[in-house]
Amino acid sequence: MSGVFERFAQSVAAWAGRPISFAVAFLIVVGWGISGPLFAWSDTWQLVINTGTTIVTFLMVFLIQNAQNRDAAAIQAKLDELIRALDTGRNEFIGIEHLGEKELIAIRDKLERDSGREMPERHEGMGRVLLRRGRRTP
């Protein structure tokens, strides 16, 4: 069952991200709007779009979350392999995605301080780079 759901979720997520999907959804909404006078703007007419969009939204949450989980796991595996393959990489960073938020923030803040001796929230180094490239005004 898991493999079937994953293939289905992957296909739907890929299709939902295409311009044609937006066009189809847009045309459905336009068609619904145009049909309003035919149904005298009735409660049933409104219920059709409300129910349809609620059901689609509810189901898409799970499909999109599945796709994001899969993508995040793949990216994490690639990053772990890069760390492992580099002579200068620190293997203790492999698997840190399993730590809690406080531990991850502490690691991030320490790395930012060690790399530039700057306040983590200010990102002054990147600001200087952008200034040199003319992309940011002081």
Confidence band, pLDDT 50/70/90 cuts, at residue 130: confident
pLDDT tens digits, 55-109: 999 999 999 999 899 999 999 999 999 999 998 888 898 999 899 999 999 998 8
Run of H or E residues at 38: none
Residue 62's alpha-carbon distances to 57, 71, 119, in angstroms, are 9, 14, 38
Q: Which of 58, 68, 59 is nearest to 10 (CA)?
A: 68
Q: What is the pLDDT of residue 127?
A: 72
- Secondary structure class of 29 (helix, strand, coil): helix
Reply yes or no on whether the pLDDT at 117 is more than 70. no
Confidence band, pLDDT 50/70/90 cuts, at residue 123: low
Q: What is the pLDDT of residue 118?
A: 55
Task: Compute the distance between CA of residue 100 and CA of residue 106 in angstroms, rounded to an integer.
Answer: 10
Q: What is the pLDDT of residue 137?
A: 55
Query: pTM to 2 decimals?
Result: 0.64
Kindly list the domain boundaries of the chain, sorted by start residue: 1-134
Q: Which of 93, 77, 79, 68 is nearest to 17 (CA)?
A: 68
Task: Compute the distance between CA of residue 66 and CA of residue 89 in angstroms, rounded to an integer.
Answer: 30
Reply yes or no on whether the pLDDT at 2 is more than 60. yes
Structure tokens at 27: 């045309």
Q: Are 5 and 65 in contact (CB under 8 A)?
A: no
Q: Which of 47, 61, 67, 51 is nearest to 5 (CA)?
A: 67
Task: Compute the distance between CA of residue 89 and CA of residue 98 in angstroms, rounded to an integer.
Answer: 19
Reply yes or no on whether the pLDDT at 18 is more than 70. yes
What is the residue-averaged pLDDT of the chain?
A: 87
Average pLDDT rounded to a whole number, residues 51-57: 96
